[in-house]
Amino acid sequence: MAVVGGGVVGLTCALELARAGHRVRLLTADPVERTTSAVAAALWSPYRAFPMASVLRWAAVSLEVLTTLAGRADTGVALRPGVVVHRGGGPDERWSAAPGRRPASPGELPAGAPAGTRCVLPVVDTGRYLPWLLAACRAAGVAVEQRRVTRWDDVPGDVVVLAAGLASGPLLDDDSGVPVQGQVVRLADPGLTGWLLDEDHPEGLTYVVPRGTDVVCGGTAVEGATGTDPDPAVEAAVLTRVRALVPELRDAPVLSRAVGLRPGRPAVRLERVGSGGRPVVACYGHGGAGVTLSWGCAAEVVALV
């Protein structure tokens, strides 16, 4: 069988299918370091993914797996405390399963934030995690081939799992996908002990995710934008927001910057379909929650296969 897509969802599906006893070939258009997954701040966060009931179920499975992986030094996964800022409407149900969840104290909130939730969540350093996941696939017997798939005739195998993000829809004549552009800037880590997520910041989506050697700062969520070159003006605005919320970052130098296109869709598509005379399991449209949903969706893919 074949898995199309070499980002975090495709890799996780391939690994779980191989562990379940299937012979798997993974086709990926890009090396792991050039996938959209490589740009992600990758804090466990059910962001811009629907429907919520399914998303929370898949996310809970991933939370358990990632928590286990955090006990291994080679995975790039760490459990870190942090604060989700709430700027109205009360606590968000997405955080109901977060370990150690409690209301943030005034001293734990950034300036101007009215309320928040304090919890401990997995933070995934994708620069280490994706190569670990790829190595785990190969160790499990997955054959990995770098090849861009544009038609079904290019895909070997009697069963296909389609997990290629934004490239998935065209293969199934599905035009419901939309890119959601995200820009990040990575700063040197001055020794931050926790992350910060402020989705409803009045000046735009803002997050600060320390990973030990760097801090991923963002961000943007521009629906329909397709550019992948960092915009200096956007970066300046992001840095203004994050440095106001986290003063420790005011003198932190910029290490790198990146732009990724999240695979937006009205709902995650995870179902059996038929195409090219073969069974196909579609698994795409994870929005900004690929890492967060990956293990839960992979388990369901295995069941569907």
Environment class of residue 231 by beta-carbon count within 10 Å: exposed (0-12), middle (13-18) or buried (19+)? middle
Environment class of residue 153 by beta-carbon count within 10 Å: exposed (0-12), middle (13-18) or buried (19+)? exposed
Q: Find the domain containing 42 and state its range.
A: 2-304
Tens digits of pLDDT across the chain (305 residues): 999 999 999 999 999 999 999 999 999 999 999 999 999 999 999 999 999 999 999 999 999 999 999 989 899 999 999 999 999 876 678 888 889 999 999 999 998 899 999 999 999 999 999 999 999 999 999 999 999 999 998 899 999 999 999 999 999 999 999 999 999 999 999 999 999 999 999 999 999 999 989 999 999 999 999 999 999 999 999 999 999 999 999 999 999 999 999 999 999 999 999 766 889 999 999 999 999 999 999 999 999 99
Q: Which residues pair with 274 in a beta bridge?
A: 279
Q: Domain count for the chain, please give it.
A: 1
* DSSP letters for 166-210: GGHHHHTT----EEEEEEEEEEE------EEEETT-TTS-EEEEE
Domain harbouring 213, CATH code: 3.50.50.60
